[in-house]
Amino acid sequence: MVILLLMMATAFMGYVLPWGQMSFWGATVITNLFSAIPVVGKAVVTWLWGGFSVDNPTLNRFFALHYLLPFVLIGVVVLHIAALHITGSNNPLGIEPKSDKDTVPFHPYYTVKDLFGLSIFLIFYAAVVCYNPNYMGHPDNYIPANPMSTPAHIVPEWYFLPFYAILRSIPSKLGGVCAMFGAIVMLLVLPWLDRSKVRSALFRPTFRAFFWIFALDTVLLGIIGSQPAEEPYISIGQFATFYYFFHFLVILPLLTKYEKTLQLPNSISEAVLKKV
């Protein structure tokens, strides 16, 4: 959860640095969300800006934080690896190891697996950076920032679109901010919402079906977030937002109580050796 928030903050502040139209107005919109805080909201926004509008002090602060936060992120990742070293890694079957046959050393098995996944990612990353760097950008961001000219359609980068759709699906400004941050908090309280003793979706067919519905709902929120704030996108966004929270607050607790799961193997090694 902490890693996710740090990544989102780092990405947002990096998006502001080009100081184009979308960067400037995106920073204005997002920082203005803090004005929804009762009593101290406007003071918080002024403190974030370093003045009475998004300007050079804001840009200098965001540049410094965009440089600093990755080091904080590295520190959190090191803590995560240390915790992983103590507790051990999970497995696709979701079964607790019962003997040495159920475990493998971190090196070379996990290191090679992670390096392979990283290599695949870097191939796609290099393809975008080297051959089509503007594919996921917005053309308006090539226009220098102009506080006197508001873009017709302000949207964040694609990785923020689902949360942006949730934000604007609530008519109230404070309600929209609470819903957007609540969508992130849902991931923090997930262990208390889904208390099923079976931790793998391989043995939970009903959960697996609802998971894919939830995944499609998240994609739909991303699409709606990129569209203008008009009908039918407003109604679709409100429905998708409702289902997002309905999945966490209603479906998962009900599945925990009523879902019939498949029979679990006695051990990890037994399940693996059956396939050999």
**What is the secondary structure of 233-271 as a DSSP string?**
HHHHHHHHHHHHHHIIIIIHHHHHHH--PPPPPS-HHHH
pLDDT reported for residue 152? 80
Pick from 274, 275, 265: nearest CA to 93:
265
The catalytic residue among 80, 114, 153, 172 is 114
Whether the CB-CB separation of 267 and 95 falls below 8 Å is answered with yes
* pLDDT at residue 275, rounded to an integer: 63
Q: Average pLDDT across each block of 10 residues of the chain; the chain has 276 residues. List them in order.
A: 82 89 90 88 91 90 92 90 80 80 82 93 94 85 88 84 92 90 90 89 93 96 91 94 96 93 82 68
> Which candidate in 113, 153, 172, 235 is catalytic?
113
State how far the alpha carbon of 39 is from the alpha carbons of 35, 53, 141, in Å. Answer: 9, 19, 34
Q: Which among 89, 149, 172, 235 is annotated as catalytic?
A: 89
Give me the count of residues in the chain: 276
Whether 114 is catalytic: yes
Catalytic residue among 42, 80, 85, 153: 85
What pLDDT shows up at residue 248? 96
pLDDT at 87: 77
- For residue 7, what pLDDT is reported? 86
Catalytic residue among 138, 157, 169, 200: 157
Q: Is residue 101 annotated as a catalytic residue, yes or no? A: no
Integer Cα distance of 117 and 135 in angstroms: 23
CB 264 within 8 A of CB 95: yes
Could you tell me which residues come within 8 angstroms of residue 14 by beta carbon, excluding any fewer than 6 positions away?
66
Closest CA to 33 of 18, 12, 19: 12
| 274 belongs to the catalytic site | no
Cα 87 from chain centroid?
A: 25
Domains by residue range for the chain, with CATH: 1-154 (1.20.810.10), 156-276 (1.10.287.980)
pLDDT at 276: 58
